[in-house]
Amino acid sequence: MESLKNLEEVQKVLLLMQSRGIIPSDSNHDSDRFIANLILLLLQPCGELGMDKKRHLVFEYLPRISSVFLEEASVWLSQEGCQQDYDKNISPLHCDEKIDFSSLQTDFGDMAVVGLDAMQRANSTLEDFCRSYYMFHELDVNRPQSIFRYLPVLSFTESFIYQLDSLNEKILNMPDSVLTVQEKGSLAEANWSYVFKSMQALKTDPFRPLVLLLERYGLLTERIREEFSCGEEYWALERNLCCALMSKKEISIEDVMRAIQLKSFDYRVLNLLLYQLRGEKVDNMHMEFLSASEFLVEVADDLFDYEDDVLENNFNILRMFVRIYGPSTAPTMLAKCISEAEVKYEDLLKTLDPQLSLNYQKRCEEATKEGGKMSEHALGTWNLPAVIADEELYRSNLLNSKLSQSSNPNILQSSGSAPLV
């Protein structure tokens, strides 16, 4: 009865608005009904508020209510409803009851969550960020207060990004046959449903939960949004380029260079967040310098990870250059690319404050001594790993080699490298 009464009231308001020329007779029905419900809300008594006061409140507060806020409110209320239903219906679980694990698949929707594995993987990036970027904010990385004050937001954000990156890698290495699976049984069906939903989210709006969270805490800026878009673009390029390599299709140098420039988007997100957390204005000169440095670091990391990236079918600039220019010309073209990037880096380094420039070069020196992936470009010698002309054959040979080693542990494998000049 109450629903019928509400419909009658809405219809009366619609007829009234049409008779007063507020809405045309051929306007959108859903829009008209929304306006009618809004008018009914304004007519509801609310303390001592009069009609004029209610109108003023609507005009005052409506511009502050963004669509993102409304979406967050919807999620928040739905979570409250779920919790109430849970509290109402919860009952003790007896030991002899069987648990259907397919029902335990958690779907957090728009809630931003991170797993322990992602947090552990993000640690090395966070350490490098603090040691390399804090100096640009005049923060002492040796003071625990400087680290822990901003660590929760930075750690959560980087872990969230790592989580998405892991999902992108899983999608990238998922066989085509798996992507077309429809029926897998009750338990598997629930898991595949989650996988497909995650895949769809990654390809549409993967940062949405994190965006909602950062906006809620007043940390979201337009530049951070742009970097999130860069992350989405990078993952899409990585999938397209790596799939093209596996299917022996052509790739463009423009896509490759765009991808390597986008790859460090997470560092830029962290840096922009640190500006926001400290209430500082973004220093564009520092951002430009760090972008030039990030490019060279990504190239250095790709050279270090080259063999692993071939095995795992990950984006790697040397892999891409070999496909575009061929195994004999690729090293020369990559050397030219690095030389041009180093010139830009050196020019921008001169624009920094002298003490900051010295501190950053000292950090590069420390990273070079530490070796491995942390090896920076500024002081280390560029080394190009032996180019893999036939990736499929390389993967096959390595697999056979591992099988041989498992039966004969005395067999050792060595790989060579050539200097990049």
405 is written with which tokens? 């080693």
Burial of 232 by CB count in 10 Å (0-12 exposed, 13-18 middle, 19+ buried)?
A: buried
68 is written with which tokens? 């993102």
pLDDT digits (tens, 9 = 90+) for 135-190: 999 999 999 998 999 999 999 999 999 999 988 888 887 654 444 444 344 444 44
pLDDT digits (tens, 9 = 90+) for 364-381: 988 878 864 444 454 446
pLDDT digits (tens, 9 = 90+) for 235-271: 999 999 999 999 999 999 999 999 999 999 999 999 9
Of 150, 274, 161, 165, whose CA–CA distance to 211 is shortest?
A: 161
pLDDT digits (tens, 9 = 90+) for 36-68: 888 888 888 888 888 888 888 888 778 878 766
pLDDT digits (tens, 9 = 90+) for 313-336: 999 999 999 999 999 999 999 999
Range of weakest confidence among 26-35, 145-154, 272-281:
26-35
Mean pLDDT across the chain, nearest whole number? 81
Query: Which pTM does this prediction carry?
Result: 0.68
Q: What's the confidence (pLDDT) of residue 77?
A: 64
Q: What's the confidence (pLDDT) of residue 409?
A: 57
Distance CA 333, CA 310 (A): 19
Q: What's the confidence (pLDDT) of residue 192?
A: 53
Burial of 215 by CB count in 10 Å (0-12 exposed, 13-18 middle, 19+ buried)?
A: middle
